Amino acid sequence: MPFPTDFETPRDPADGLAAVVAMRRLADRLEVAEVERAVRDGWTWSLVAEALGVTRQAVHKKHAKRLKALGVQARKR
């Protein structure tokens, strides 16, 4: 599958690489927000992990502590 080219690809690699960094940050922010929303909606860690395509351990390690501090607990399966 070709890389989507319906956007203007930056000419300068510095701009292209900065876009990669900015997209990673945006993805991180979005992940934090969406995982919190899913767990508040009653999703289990297993389901969140499956939706993200990562292991349950990975998603738990990354988000459980933060959500617990907010008083949000994932539903037991």
Partner 1 sequence: MFERFTRDARLVVTLAEEEAGDLGSPTIEAEHLLLAATRLDPSTPVGATLAAHGLGHDELLEALDAERAHSLAAVGISISDFDLPPARPTPKPRFGANAKSALEHGLRIALERGDRRIEAGHVLLAVLRSEVGTVPRALREADVDREALSDGLAAALD
- Using CB under 8 A, list all residues that contact partner 1: 6-10, 14-19, 21-23, 25-26, 28-30, 32-33, 36, 65-66, 69-70
* Cβ closest to partner 1, residue 32 vs residue 54: 32
Question: Nearest distance from residue 70's CB to partner 1, in Å?
Answer: 8
Residue type, 4: P
* Cβ closest to partner 1, residue 40 vs residue 75: 40
Cβ atoms of residues 52 and 31 within 8 Å: yes
Nearest-angstrom CA–CA distance, 36 and 58: 15
Q: What is the DSSP letter of 41?
A: T
